[in-house]
Chain A
């Protein structure tokens, strides 16, 4: 598989799905949801206006400014999600759904599905198969309502790892040289050094013959340093594994960004730029609901999908099947079989964070 080249910017017939260009290829898994939902929402809004329902959708649209102001004000007083009663959660969700629907002009749902008993989500990534196409990055942005354009936020970054250059010419390299002790020389190369990975590569085609690829995102640590340093406990580990953020409780101190050894957290430096037509209206409170400026966000294993029995968007979109996801407590799950049979490692294991994100090779 790694021998086959796949163009980065054009849809490829042979791949099951291509999300590299959301405007022109709305037929794939993730984008399809967005577009059809938005169309449904639009049709509903129009019919709401044409039929006699004056208070309902019409009020929502015409008074959107007031609705916005009121809900913002009420949101300011709401408590931490974890400590809310079911009633408070219902009220908070109703408020959010009202605000988001008005803001994005379509029916937006905010799910609160709790963790299930006997489920612990885990992820396995085959670095041997990854071709560095970054469809996962794009699919993630579309699914999880990240900010777009100049303020684009990406939760997944793909590190391009050099294979190194080993030539006779470099035999003389190294220092201090003249004094007889050679340091460096031929093997003094970035090959296989994670900290020298490059994540802004812009190739015509992937994979590059001189590189392999190592995607990173939140490792969903079992001992997450980010959770420990949060002064207001707005970020915490859910019972089924993902580390989540209550965006309405975050004070934006960025201690968690400092504490994360995987650079997995992102901050909304300004108001997020999420175009109405690209917004994914199927959201979860702790997952992909639209964020506000001044708060931290991160990968949640697509909590809005996985709690409904679906795969994360990045798993679904991966053209080479490098990404595997499942229940770590189920011995028959794909992830457990990988852990049992493949050569597995965790990134920066010396940090003692115990990621639930595993890398493996066949």
Chain B
């Protein structure tokens, strides 16, 4: 057996085996995936009419989750960057876990985009050569490029590292380091382009602001590491892999400062828009205060703002930040706050009012929510498998054994 096929066999053999906790978790996720199968069947046969979307609000929670998850994927760079640019030792040991998270997040992004499409059966129309790829004009084609590129960079970087570790061979730095450095810059590009996807539309004044890319990056670099902290603490508790305190402390500092900048940018935008509100501020006004009794989004906005402010203030206090019994809860708060801010707080009110001034509310249907939860469940399934394999290799549970080749 060649080394690479042995790697594949050992890796797959390892990741599907686990204790009752592991199978319990997979079983829990598969409940959502079963509902997802039904929801997708309905959407593919009936069309997008099973969603709560309308001609007025034609982009909903599918795209909102997509936008958020691009940020999570980009947020993985908060592990890679300190490790390779600042030579942070503790972070360096666990870089590959960040890459695994990025892969899982991009997989979720792709699921959400596919679900947003009215004709997923015609996906090939966007492939270069066999279809038409309207590049460089259409921002969506840029998004396809950067996301695919980011997925490939992380797959190559992550699995090359794991493979070498498995074989107990040194890394070829001439190959590996360029991949890592390109991936760092690339991570910024994915969320920048996603912001450009929205903010290059003058027809949607809420989005048409030059602040959006930097707001996206800062919220991503808060939500991404917040999730990574939670994952790291779970890994510490449930596996033999000990992730050092320094790595977690650095991540929580990144979260707090990025949250602070994000809140400042939100404040700037609110003051700019509302000091003398124009027609272009109607979307923000609707989001914050509602419009003649139409106030679906109001609790989401304020809830998200409170969560973000509270997380920021609490994380500013070192004794709380370093208390790992409290930290994961604050991270959940920050993560959910940003998830709402980019979804209900940004993507939906971009369509309200419509370009001709009509206020139409949007509420996702049960199937729409089920499909979205299913995508998350698949993402967590992928993440679990990837992390399990990576940790197995890092701990030496899976390694290349020459002697065993013969038996």
Contacts and interface: CB of A to CB of B under 8 A. Distances in A.
Interface of A: 76, 80, 83, 151, 153, 157, 159, 193-197, 199, 216, 225, 228-234, 249-255, 257-263, 265-271, 293-296, 351
A270 B51 CA distance: 10
Interface in B117-152: 117-123, 125-126, 131-134, 137-141, 144
B219 to A, nearest CB: 21
Nearest to A253: B117
A195 B282 contact: yes
Nearest to A83: B132
A159 B51 CA distance: 27
Contacts of A268: 47, 118
Nearest to A227: B137
Contact of A260 (B120, B200, B355): B355
A259 to B, nearest CB: 5
A230 B59 contact: no
B133 A231 contact: yes
Contact of A295 (B56, B118, B134, B357): B118
13 contacts: A80-B132, A197-B356, A225-B203, A229-B140, A231-B134, A233-B134, A234-B132, A251-B117, A252-B119, A253-B116, A260-B355, A271-B47, A295-B119
B202 interface: yes
A262 B55 CA distance: 12
A195 B48 contact: no
Interface string B341-365: 0000000001101111110000000
B138 A251 contact: no
Interface of B: 46-49, 51, 53-56, 58-59, 116-123, 125-126, 131-134, 137-141, 144, 198, 200-204, 279, 282, 350-351, 353-358
A132 B362 CA distance: 28
B353 to A, nearest CB: 7
Contacts of B51: 269
A272 to B, nearest CB: 10
A270 B47 CA distance: 5
Listed from nearest, the 7 A-B pairs whose CB atoms lie closest are A252-B118, A195-B357, A294-B118, A270-B49, A261-B203, A293-B47, A231-B140
B140 A294 contact: no
B140 A157 contact: no
A225 B357 contact: no
| Most chain A CB neighbours (cut-off 10 Å) among B49, B203, B282, B353 | B203
Contacts of A252: 48, 117-119, 122
Contacts of B133: 231-232
Given A231-B144, A234-B125, A293-B47, A259 B119 contact: no
A295 B48 CA distance: 10
Contacts of A228: 137-138
A258 B47 CA distance: 20
A268 B48 CA distance: 8
A351 B279 CA distance: 14
A255 B113 CA distance: 12
B203 A251 contact: no
A157 B118 CA distance: 24
Given A157-B356, A234-B125, A251 B119 contact: yes
Given A232-B131, A234-B125, A263-B358, 10 more contacts: A76-B122, A196-B357, A228-B137, A231-B140, A232-B134, A251-B118, A260-B355, A263-B355, A268-B118, A294-B119
Contacts of A254: 58-59, 116, 118
Given A249-B125, A266-B55, A225 B134 contact: no
B227 to A, nearest CB: 27
A251 B122 contact: yes
A269 B47 contact: yes
A225 B282 contact: no
Given A232-B131, A233-B134, A268-B47, A261 B202 contact: yes
B138 A267 contact: no
A258 B59 contact: yes
Nearest to B113: A253
A356 B201 CA distance: 20
Contacts of A216: 356
B196 to A, nearest CB: 11
